[in-house]
């Protein structure tokens, strides 16, 4: 019998993807949809592309959530903590797609976000929800902090190389480009068609909050602390992240070594594959897959590693469902698209 | 047990959608994939977004197709006739997504396509595969000519109104805009990003072959012959057709009459819905749905009717699967997406 | 010596185009730039693509405008009347790019806009600023109502045909598609990249305010009142309007007649040309040109006429400069781009 | 009196931009237009956006070029050498927008392009046409190799920092994204709208020919050899390059030092400006400007430098005209757009 789940924050892009995936999931069904300003409206008025549009959105209020088997929170930064703790108190496991519980110490949180965490004791007790690196911990917890989109595209290729000691942990360059849906569905001048179409730019240079998230997650893989320089870019497309990473290899490392380390880790993973050349983001649009390619500049010993994901699927809703599958004892791939759409 | 099917013409956009839909279909599976120039290559090299990319494409040759339960032909105009007849001779039912068998007489075919049909006796013996208008005939045949994308968006809203005698059959204006995938995947100068992006144009003005197809299909609905003026436009997007139809209502007809006639016909149809205002093509991207809105200019008695579909799904692969479901005695909606993706 | 001009409403898209054109104009220069919420900011912060970005925007206040030779108003609907009258009182000629003075009677204004005009006596005393139809009147006036973008693309092809009595004035279908800049630069949910990209829709069906403007302007050309049915569509591009017009020809009219009527009128016009097939909007992006093509459906006697313009140039700023050139006794083509950009 | 110029290779995107710029140039006019496959056709059939479309294209043959004051070559790689030498023999100065003469030694050419140069003695005798670094040499030569688009966006920000000894010359990361026009106008499957739209990818990883061009040009600035790692990306837009550079600063270097070095060099340059944050490519679309921003990661001492240009203007045609202005003794800025267009 299918497990009923709740989604708080259903009106955004990640919320819409969660509904799409859960509606198509053989073992889950939607038991509650919460929203802020669109509470009381129909699903169809918010997400006209989804089925059963007559469903009514409720409030983003943990008190009115029915007794579901799990709750996904797709809320803005800072808005997850209170409902998450309330739901956990009621015995409802939580997958938080926001950033509230991704860091591990109050100090790191303060550094990254500029204020104190409301539940500092919780930090470090949430499992970072990247199944390919933390599968068994996810299976055994009731609280998962689902990774950010940029971190997913960065940690998947880098973690095995750091763990194997093949690349230096310092001065790693992470240069990413993202489609516009990564900025969410809120109405902003900078996200108008006239501002985004036919243009590219960097933003939040050296100050994006995904950088400490990446470092914290990669510190778990590395013998010594990881130092990343991260530049996110906005490019005129709806979905997709392409991340290009430049890491200094340890002396004597060959391209074959790098490939072998990634193949060893990912050969049996359903959602991560190595490809030759450069992956294109459209190859994974709509799917939960991550594609990685590796190159080595022999002259300087620099590994040039590229990773493509769909920021709303493997970078958000798909990865959250993958974690939920593990938490609920389901097949990890259940309900998750292996194939995307093109064009 | 799932029925095995064959797809000839798997390397194009419609072919790719067919594979995507059949791969996700609970009652069908892919038994054979044929292609022209990419025969011998892997599916992954042609459609990197699909799963099981190691599958090898065979030839578009009906002789090497195994004994499948049904074959889809997604071939260029003129290329369907010979393989279709060969497959039917072997007892394999055929759904042809091409235009070879859509018209009903050798003369109409000659007028539309400028040459003689190789199997003139076949014309008129194929069922036009629009399930909402020809459901029982589709269920009982082994040969279906699946409608073109523009005709689907035109016939669905017009047929009930002509059948009910609410609009005049003459001088109906059909003004459509289509995404670029409607032009297929062949490499053309006019389809380069630099030629399409940030621009709109009409094409094949008064000479598009979908116009006789529309008239033939609507003649079946109308007491007197239908005369359409059809203008297709290309707009810079991948998928989607938005068709705006202008039809003179019969004197005394009200907006309520028009809405009621459509509601009567479509209220129980799973894939066709009426909406207020204008549908947006992104509401149906990836889904098999058609959305229709109706307006009436009281002053002139002109009905302004708008229909949105995804040209590759309801306008091609989805509709073909819908017909195949009927032909094979399956649930008509089986394997067909009710929801699309957005953004 | 160059004439100094003022622009009120400089921060929008039309305002930006006006600045671009005047900055490059050999006989005009910018004497004052007014804005609402961005008053006090630099031009560069509002239009980073323009030169001399250190210029400071002033208020949209006619009292602080210096004694310039002419003022352009690029203000929202309803905001032009008061500053226009104040500037005229000071002896400053005005070209209003807004809709306040385009209609000719208080009743027509009330019907179209739903409220009373603050200066009803002015209606009918402003010249409609389409130089190709009202050149001498524009030369002799101090107040010009510059046409809307959709009307420009409709009136240019239709006016000569109505004036020559070649098409019926009733039940003319005008089906237009526009790039997003036509909706202005205001921040709206419906204009976010995620809402516009990869989608098409109609809007304001049967209720767009450009329809009465078109009818009023075409009534001046026609022996009997003009009745238009107008449907605007939004397509995912920045600039450009493509309008497809369906008009019933008078019995006996041939395609040659239609072409000859347009050629006769436009053969010496610098900015209007006939083309074969369909013009593409990118052919005129950035230029002040309008391209027209004509087709005739022999069977129904329906002329299918297509017109392409850049909505911000010939549909707004360029046309306003063209009128200003006439008002100021300059060469009509001065400072106006004959060529656009591509890609 | 205006100098007459010739353009060989007029049918491509760079050729079209050259015509647009020369047509608007007060001191130059087009004396000859050459093309390969479109020779004999009208300009309007190839570049419908340009004025005087009735002009006929001639052959790309130096023998039929009239006695012009200068020739621009916008030809594919390898096709410039022969016509360049023939034109120089006739005393006609040449600006080559291609890559034939950008490198300095036969060995470097062989390494980069894989074959021997037909005129090895010429290598090293052409001036690299970046006016901001080689102004006086350009003024004194009759043969200029105009820089590539990616190199322009890389050399402008890096050259002053290397010359000032503020950044290390080794392991400089150059990560660029380009609009599609950078790939030229040739028809390719990978440049179809369906392949490019809504997707991002890297290409020619570690093997793009602009990398040796960058190193050669920067070696001229640096005390020791420069080593770059260069990754170009394709993003779905027509024009624009955004290059993000990561360079290790020399110990003790502050952000102020870096800014001061660039300000010192560029404060009087008309076409290069420093901006805060990240420039957006749309700020320079259509203009000859380059915008640079600088950031410093204090923790690792890494300078993160971003540069935006229009690949067809400052990255191709505009820069070529800038060099031609110098060669012909004209004002360097003559005919060059300081402002672009937006949206």
**DSSP notation for C49-104:** TSS-TTPBPEES-TTT--S-SEEEE---TTSSHHHHHHHHHTT--EEE-SSTTSSS
Burial class (CB in 10 A: 0-12, 13-18, 19+), C279: buried
Q: What domains can be seen in chain C, in order of their start residue?
A: 3-147+314-327 (3.40.50.720), 149-311 (3.30.360.10)
**Predicted pLDDT of residue D105:** 93
The complex scores an ipTM of 0.97
Is pLDDT at B1 greater than 90 in this prediction? no
Segment B290-299 mean pLDDT? 97
Q: How many CB pairs under 8 A join B and C?
A: 152
Task: Express each pLDDT in A58-100 by its tens digit.
Answer: 999 999 999 999 999 999 999 999 999 999 999 999 999 999 9
Are B10 and B35 in contact by the 8 Å Cβ rule? The answer is yes
Q: Cα distance from B291 to chain A (closest Cα, Å)?
A: 11
Is pLDDT at A6 greater than 90 in this prediction? yes
Across A97-171, the runs of DSSP E, i.e. the strands, are 127-128, 143-145
Is pLDDT at B118 greater than 90 in this prediction? yes
Chains that touch A (3 or more CB pairs under 8 A): B, C, D
- Non-local (6+) Cβ contacts of A298 within 8 A are none
| Catalytic-labelled residue, pool A97, A145, A149, A313 | A149
B25 touches chain A (CB under 8 A): no
Nearest to C198 among B194, B227, B282 (CB): B282
Helix B318-327 and helix B131-139, axial crossing angle in degrees, nearest 10: 30
- Non-local (6+) Cβ contacts of D187 within 8 A are B187, B188, B189, B192
Quick check: C205 and B278 CB within 8 A?
Answer: yes
Quick check: A175 and D175 CB within 8 A?
Answer: yes
Best mutation target among A46, A182, A193 (most C Cβ atoms within 10 Å) is A193
Quick check: B283 and A48 CB within 8 A?
Answer: yes
Distance CA D137, CA D144 (A): 9
Is pLDDT at D1 greater than 90 in this prediction? no
pTM, full prediction: 0.97
Chains that touch C (3 or more CB pairs under 8 A): A, B, D
Residue C193 tokens read as 């990249």
Quick check: A49 and B239 CB within 8 A?
Answer: no
B230 touches chain D (CB under 8 A): no
State how far the alpha carbon of C284 is from the alpha carbons of A82, A221, B196, C267, C312, in Å: 55, 56, 14, 18, 11
**Predicted pLDDT of residue A1:** 80
Segment A203-220 mean pLDDT? 96
The confidence band for B151, taking pLDDT boundaries of 50, 70 and 90, is very high
The confidence band for D78, taking pLDDT boundaries of 50, 70 and 90, is very high
Nearest to A173 among D194, D246, D285 (CB): D246
A149 counts as catalytic: yes
The confidence band for C308, taking pLDDT boundaries of 50, 70 and 90, is very high
Quick check: B339 and A23 CB within 8 A?
Answer: yes
B39 touches chain C (CB under 8 A): no
Q: Write out chain D residues lying below 8 Å of C198, CB-based.
A: 198
**C residues 159-198 lying closer than 8 A (beta carbon) to B:** 170-171, 173, 175, 177, 179, 194-195, 197-198
**Predicted pLDDT of residue A186:** 93
**Predicted pLDDT of residue B13:** 97
Is pLDDT at A245 greater than 90 in this prediction? yes
Are C134 and C218 in contact by the 8 Å Cβ rule? The answer is no
Residue whose entry in the numeric block shows the structure tokens 């860091």: A103
DSSP state, residue C288 = S
The confidence band for A231, taking pLDDT boundaries of 50, 70 and 90, is very high
Quick check: B239 and A13 CB within 8 A?
Answer: no
Q: Cα distance from A108 to chain B (closest Cα, Å)?
A: 34
Q: Cα distance from D50 to chain C (closest Cα, Å)?
A: 5
Taking CA–CA distances from D180, the nearest residue in chain C reads C343
Task: Express each pLDDT in B48-69 by its tens digit.
Answer: 999 999 999 999 999 999 999 9
Distance CA D181, CA B160 (A): 47
Task: Express each pLDDT in C52-69 by its tens digit.
Answer: 999 999 999 999 999 999
Quick check: D306 and A205 CB within 8 A?
Answer: yes
Are B48 and A280 in contact by the 8 Å Cβ rule? The answer is yes
Q: Which sequence positions of D are flagged as catalytic?
A: 149
Quick check: A193 and C180 CB within 8 A?
Answer: yes
- Non-local (6+) Cβ contacts of D45 within 8 A are D38, D53
Distance CA C257, CA B248 (A): 27
**Predicted pLDDT of residue B138:** 98
> Per residue in D296-306, is it b (16+ CB within 10 Å) or e — as a string?
bbeebbbbbbb
Quick check: C13 and D239 CB within 8 A?
Answer: no
Backbone angles phi, psi at A7, to 5 degrees: -125, 115
Q: Write out chain D residues lying below 8 Å of B201, CB-based.
A: none
Q: How many Cβ atoms sit within 10 Å of the Cβ of residue B148? A: 25
Task: Express each pLDDT in D21-52 by its tens digit.
Answer: 999 999 999 999 999 999 999 999 999 999 99
Q: Write out chain B residues lying below 8 Å of C279, CB-based.
A: 201
Q: Are strands B3-8 and B28-35 parallel, antiparallel or unpaired?
A: parallel
Best mutation target among D12, D46, D191, D193 (most B Cβ atoms within 10 Å) is D193
State how far the alpha carbon of B40 is from the alpha carbons of B62, B71, D188, in Å: 16, 20, 22
3-state secondary structure D155-194: HHHHHHHHHCCCECCCCEEEEEEECHHHHCCCCCHHHEHH
**Predicted pLDDT of residue C125:** 96
**Predicted pLDDT of residue A12:** 97
Best mutation target among C149, C200, C308, C343 (most B Cβ atoms within 10 Å) is C200
Quick check: C193 and A13 CB within 8 A?
Answer: no
D171 closest CA partner among D303, D315, D295, D278 = D303
Q: How many CB pairs under 8 A join B and D?
A: 54
Task: Express each pLDDT in A144-187 by its tens digit.
Answer: 999 999 999 999 999 999 999 999 999 999 999 999 999 999 99
Is pLDDT at B46 greater than 90 in this prediction? yes
Q: Write out chain A residues lying below 8 Å of B338, CB-based.
A: 51
Quick check: A187 and C185 CB within 8 A?
Answer: no
């Amino acid at each position: 019998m299918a497990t009923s789940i709740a989604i708080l924050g259903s009106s955004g892009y990640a919320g819409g993807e969660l509904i799409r995936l859960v509606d198509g999931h053989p073992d889950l069904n939607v038991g509650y949809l919460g929203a802020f300003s669109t509470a009381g409206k129909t699903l169809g008025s918010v997400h006209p592309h989804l089925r059963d549009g007559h469903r009514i959105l409720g409030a983003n209020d943990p008190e009115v959530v029915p007794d579901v088997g799990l709750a996904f929170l797709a809320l803005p930064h800072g808005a997850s903590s209170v409902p998450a703790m309330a739901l956990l108190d009621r015995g409802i496991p939580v997958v938080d797609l926001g950033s509230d519980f991704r860091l591990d110490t109050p100090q790191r949180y303060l550094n990254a976000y500029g204020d104190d965490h409301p539940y500092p004791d919780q930090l470090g007790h949430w499992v970072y929800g990247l199944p390919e690196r933390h599968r068994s911990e996810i299976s055994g917890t009731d609280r998962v902090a689902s990774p950010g989109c940029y971190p997913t595209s960065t940690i998947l290729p880098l973690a095995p190389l750091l763990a194997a000691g093949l690349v230096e942990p310092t001065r790693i360059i992470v240069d990413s480009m993202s489609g516009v849906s990564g900025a969410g569905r809120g109405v902003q001048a900078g996200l108008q068609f006239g501002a985004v179409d036919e243009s590219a730019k960097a933003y939040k240079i050296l100050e994006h909050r995904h950088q400490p998230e990446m470092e914290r997650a990669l510190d778990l893989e590395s013998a010594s602390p990881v130092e990343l320089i991260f530049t996110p870019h906005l490019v005129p497309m709806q979905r997709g992240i392409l991340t290009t990473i430049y890491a200094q290899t340890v002396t004597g490392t060959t391209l074959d070594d790098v490939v072998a380390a990634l193949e060893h880790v990912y050969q049996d993973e359903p959602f991560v594959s190595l490809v030759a050349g450069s992956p294109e983001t459209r190859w994974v649009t709509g799917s939960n897959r991550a594609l990685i390619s590796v190159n080595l500049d022999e002259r300087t010993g620099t590994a040039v590693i590229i990773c493509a994901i769909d920021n709303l699927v493997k970078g958000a809703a798909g990865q959250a469902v993958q974690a939920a599958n593990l938490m609920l004892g389901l097949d990890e791939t259940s309900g998750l698209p292996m194939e995307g759409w093109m064009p």
